[in-house]
Structure 1
Amino acid sequence: MKNSAVTFKEVESCIVQVTMQDRVHKNTFSKELVQGLIEAFQMIKANSTYKVVILTGYDNYFCSGGTQEGLLAIHEGRGKFTDVNVYALALECEIPVIAAMQGHGIGGGFVMGLFADFVILGRESVYTTNFMKFGFTPGMGATYIVPKKMGFSLGEEMLLSAGNYRGAELEKRGVPFKILPRKDVLSSALQLARQVAEKPRVSLITLKNHMVESIREQLSKVVSQEVAMHEKTFHEPEVKERIVKLFRK
């Protein structure tokens, strides 16, 4: 796989690690990162021996969400977040995916991680669904998956307030994920991957398919509703001002 933004390696027999490492763009959804993720999951789909995927980032970053160019394109009506479905790659993957979110998960980057079957967070890292900070309503399935995975009250709070939450704070709030020191997240994910990989592949695929069937069914409906909300909220002049101002920071 020839993509410097995303690396793909077989860690052990049946276990694949996909690492996002677009250091130039700090793991925002650059063209290179998006293309690398799509290629990686195509390679996983094409291999009938893999049993589990670890999706992770580099250093302090897991995934940082939309680029300024991408958000401005949506604001100007030149695109939609549905043009490329990168956010649900883990959900659509037939084998289990572990999101080893060792670093910051921001906006759509955090949402993408929540679509994995297992989630591990870093205690020191920041997690946020910051869509409303820019003045537009959430997309990428966030309005469904965030309350579903985080719990409704906390999920609604995260979406409406667009606040920043350290992993340590989310741990105190009782989120149902492992939250570990950043340096321990990847090793914990590998330990979990080994445990999962002990099972027959056909059984893993069959059970995952059963467990996430309702999420897959609901998602297309929710995404349509989010696109409709974007038509109301994304094209306001204030949104452009906020995008430019926040990226300048």
Structure 2
Amino acid sequence: MGTLKTLIGLLAMPLPLAAVLLLAGLLAVGLGRQRLGLTLLAAAPALVVVLAWAPVADRLLAPLEQRHPPVHDARDHPEAQAIVVLGSGYSPHLALPVTAQLNDSGLVRLNEGIRLHRQRPALPLIVSGGARPDQAPIAEGFRRAAIALGVADDRLLPLTEPRDTAQEAYATREVLGEGATVLLVTSASHIHRAQAHFHRAGLNPIPAPTRHKAGHVRPATPGYWIPSATHLRKSERALYEYMGLLAAGLDH
């Protein structure tokens, strides 16, 4: 089921979807359905161009990112019992420093977790993420990177089994207990879905979003109006999250 969910999610992204439209268009033309085929062939590049345009990408992503404000100071939340950093990509096979083995989202999330931890050093810093086949758990990469960035090993609590956000929520409940209040650190586009999963698990998450991407390019600059891969990635991120909310039965 997990593999099928991942495959569906990948095929619904702009570039794979455009490729499907192109193949369907060519097939339609080959079967003599000229009008349908040409429509599909034109729709494929149009879809990519539109989603790679900042006015569209930002309007897709901003509603997700702006639902919760960032936490500027962890000391404003004395009720928090832990800081939880949700997992992202980790490539331990690379012969690079451990901080470079984390993907961009993971490194930003971890940095934010460490920033909050330095404001509340007595709190445990929980880092989460299971392993893909033949690979060390993401949480272990986060733990190693956090130590390299100055966090004491005895303040770190890696959760090495969870493979998705729902599992991360329940794993956190296992170690902290039901009803625990946590500062929940993840990408701003992901925070609403993550918070809902943590509520479902019986926890009290305080959203601490990071890695905001919408609105970084101002409308007055040429880059705002010219389609680019940067904006396409923002659209991909937004579409992925909307599909995740739909699959989990959560409010958009």
Task: Give TM-score, length-normalised by structure 1.
Answer: 0.30
Task: Give TM-score, length-normalised by structure 2.
Answer: 0.29
Larger radius of gyration: 2
